[in-house]
Structure 1
Amino acid sequence: MSPHPGTGIVYASFDRFPSPKGAAVHIRAFVESLGAAFGRVDLVALRDSPTAPTGPLALVEGVTYHPLESRGKDLMAQALSFRSHLAAWWRERPRASVVHVRSIFEGYPVACRKEALTDALVFEVNGLPSIELKYHYPDVADDAELLRKLVAQEDVCLSRADLVVTPSTVTAEYLVTTRGVDASRVRVIPNGADLEVFRYAPPRPLELGRPVRLLYSGTMTSWQGVHHAIEACRLLRRDMPTVLTLVGPLRRHTRRALMDRCGDLLLEGTVELLEPLPQAELAALHHACDVVLVPLPFNDRNCVQGCCPLKLLEAMATGTPVVASNLPVVSTLAAPDEVMLIRPGSAKAIAEAVKALRADPTLGPAMSAKARARVERDFPWSRAGEALVSAYEERLGMARASTRRSTSASACA
């Protein structure tokens, strides 16, 4: 360890920022909390578009954003490019008090040079490439050498981190029991919802002749269960007019596969595809729908690694009734009287739950009010931010800026 203590917090992330995606929402909530508590936070992330400002930019008081470039034909090339830009940004900078990373793509080089760069390292584990990457790039599953390297880099980050933050108890259990992380270094801090953006409104009243409108938002991949949402829509159409709105990012190859799966539903206007929306527009769309679907299936990403579905919390906050898979990553966030918990991996179960909501006009409003109350109590972003700040204080010995000012004033008195 360097004899000279570091200064400030560097929060580095190989994610686009700002962006409508959940990762960017999470990043903003965390850096704003850290900036308010400790001051001097430098956020380093991917510039959202080639036309976006290059920075540095004042994000909020205490937080400066440094957008970086990342070029390459595939993810690995882009990750290496980002690492190169991150290294260039870091040259001639003083050591940090804390470096906070969200993946191995920015975290591994930092972990390897931890003593030179920072007093303490925080590794935020929302997902691990050794588990998740195959769902985005199927060929990864057959590349044993790449998987070995991914696991090795994850292990370096996990072993060198002074604090490991994760949003899911399932993830925490996996890190401790399977990856050998000391439980004393792990803090579970669930995601949150912006209660001012995702405002509450009672469910839409039933109207004869109006189609049932279903909403699915998030990644359009099998591990999120989008295919079950589409098949449920197909089943429901046999009994009632139904429209399914899909909102989220689509890569070129996944768009083609998704359109093939939708087939005639797209032509008939039963399924509509939307690009990711700003949060305010997404909240308004929730209020324009009758049911939100969170159809996570059984797989190692959801059941072994774990996750904390932000879309579930945001949907609960809006008051629109939710149908979600009864998996631990869901049931730890929502009780059966707050959302409709159904058998995972079953389009039929989704369809039957939607029918049950339509058959009983009192069911949706009752669940809606309880879901909102649960989010207000347990999952505002302010609570997540305060939990992160407390973890910095307790595990890393960080002092809040207000405490430092008070101590300094006392010393000068």
Structure 2
Amino acid sequence: MSTSGIIYASFDRFPAPKGAAVHIRAFVEALGGAFGGVELLAIGGDPGEPPEGVRFHPLPAQGKDLIQQAMCFRGGLAAWWQGRARASVVHVRSIFEGYPIARRKEQLTERLVFEVNGLPSIELKYHSPGVAEDDELLRKLVAQEDECLAKADLVLTPSGVTARYLESRGVAPCRIRVIPNGVDTGLFAYQAPRPWDERPVRLLYSGTMTSWQGVHHAIEACRLLRRDVPVLLTLVGPTRRQQRRELMELCGELVGEGAVEILDALPQAELAKLHHACDVVLVPLPPNDRNLVQGCCPLKLLEAMASGTPVVASDLPVVRALAEQREHAFLVRPGSPKAIAEAVRALREDPALGPRMSQQARARVERDFTWARAQESLVSAYEEAFGMVRSSTRWSTSASAAA
């Protein structure tokens, strides 16, 4: 049977302002530019053109809950695949699209790449709390994860913490590549921090509005700070109706008093401008199994470091991999709104600290955490693992320069 090129499948919405969509665009752009012939299959999102060398096939994901949506997506994926040639490489980002492919790997593809940004056996309970009590479902999730990990020829992850967890799950280190997330440093252009004056202190939290990301700690820190200074906390991210209602209840009187504003997810260009309009970005990751055991590579932290806005973040291994204490960010005790509030006060009382961290953080991002660097690492991983050869001289030249 003849083979086709690279299929990149993801049970994520694309295009979209979420970090997952940003990550997907960067990776398929690199694969399309280096090797050509990439077929991207994802949940249809906002209007937008795919990168050069990539053909986008939007698939449905309808249903009242995550499981139904995943089964709908799998059905669309199977229908699209009918009658197609065996792929040279299939690249997946989760078990929701990856498991049916892993089960039929020999028929569908020569090589399988499993990109592990998160695992539902750990993360799903934070989205659907009832799952924590469903032992049968959790066993199925772990079994499907194990199948994908066992069949993958190459396992990618953005975090060293995640890599160590995958090793504990039986993945040989030689099959794992750590490729940290990146930032578009042109989009998130550097701007020196705003000088502190008598206006309200403006804090920014962006991302998922859930307890496992620490939004409740950001809100409580705002409440504590208001005892001393006027504060405005801006919360930016996608929310469903019930989730938004719960968030409003959590904020309570802060919304009515003008201390908290809640915005929908913003395009990256608008989010970058918002960074520059704020005094401090909060990355209050709690000490839970998602952050300590599984691991992550918080894109919001890298974007704040690139933009020049001082950062207050939880002192966790996944954060220390990106930023050092009081050199690139102000790291605080995880799970402590009081520690967050004290760090903001310290930045306000020492006007030189924020600008110094800001400059050093930007330099760190430019050196280690650009999307160009991540893209080059991805292409190199394909070359080393599969012996693939770049078809684009233009990509080789530009990627080498960026690295």
TM-score by length of 1: 0.93
The letter of the residue matching 2:334 is P
How do 1:273-312 residues align onto structure 2 when only pairs under 5 Å count? 273-312=262-301
Deviation track 1:89-125 (CA, whole Å, cap 9, x = no partner) reads 1111111110000000000010011111111000000
Percent identity, aligned pairs only, is: 72
Which amino acid in the other structure matches residue 155 of structure 1? Answer: D
Q: Measure the CA separation in 2 of the matches of 1:81 and 1:276.
A: 25
Rounded to whole Å, the distance in 2 between the matches of 1:96 and 1:305 is: 30
In structure 1, which of residues 208, 224, 227 is the aligned counterpart of residue 213 of structure 2?
224
The count of residues paired between Structure 1 and Structure 2 equals 392
Question: What is the distance in 2 between the residues matched to 1:324 and 1:264?
Answer: 25
**Following TM superposition, by how much is the alpha carbon of 1:359 offset from its aligned partner in structure 2, in angstroms?**
0.3
Which residue identity lines up with residue 34 of structure 2 in the other structure? Answer: A
What letter is aligned with 2:20? A
Cα distance in 1 for partners of 2:136, 2:242 equals 24
Structure 2 match to 1:136: 127
What letter is aligned with 1:86?
L
1:366 to 356, 366, 389: 356
Query: Corresponding residue for 1:406?
Result: none
1:410 corresponds to which residue? none
Match of 2:191 in 1: 201
SS of the residue 1:219 aligns to: coil
What is the rounded CA distance, in whole Å, between the counterparts of 1:25 and 1:249 in structure 2? 15
1:241 to 2:230 alignment:
yes
SS in structure 1 of the partner of residue 193 of structure 2: coil
Match of 2:398 in 1: none
Match of 1:146 in 2: 137
Shift of 1:5: 5.7
Residue 315 (structure 1) aligns with: 304
Q: Deviations over 1:156-209 (max 9, x none)?
A: 0000000000000000000002x111110000000000111100000001122x
CA distance in 2 between partners of 1:191 and 1:340 (Å) = 20
Distance 1:316 1:32 in 2: 24
Q: For structure 1, which runs of at least 5 residues remain unmatched after alignment?
A: 404-413
1:126 and 1:60 map into 2 onto residues whose CA distance is 22
Among 359, 364, 373, the alignment partner of 1:383 is 373
Alpha-carbon displacement from aligned partner over 1:328-356 (angstroms, at most 9, x marks no partner): 00000111111001100000000000000
Whole-angstrom CA distance in 2 between matches of 1:59 and 1:223? 31
Residue 346 of structure 2 is aligned to residue 351 of structure 1: no
- On the 8 A contact 2:222/2:341 being kept in 1, the answer is yes
Of 6, 12, 17, 2:14 maps to 17
Partner of 1:92: 83
Aligned residue in 2 for 1:166: 157
Residues 249-298 of structure 1 deviation map (CA, whole Å, 9 limit, x = unaligned): 11222222211111000101100000000000000000000000000010
- Matched letter for residue 38 of structure 1: F
Select the residue among 54, 67, 90 that pairs with 1:63. 54
5+ residue gaps in structure 2? Answer: 394-403
Deviations 1:211-236 (A, max 9, x none): 00000000000110000000000000
Is the CA contact (8 Å cut-off) linking 1:5 and 1:119 kept in structure 2? no
Matched, 1:271 2:252: no
> Which of 4, 7, 10 in structure 1 is aligned with 2:4?
7
Q: Counterpart of 1:288 in structure 2: which amino acid?
A: A
Normalising by structure 2, we get a TM-score of 0.96
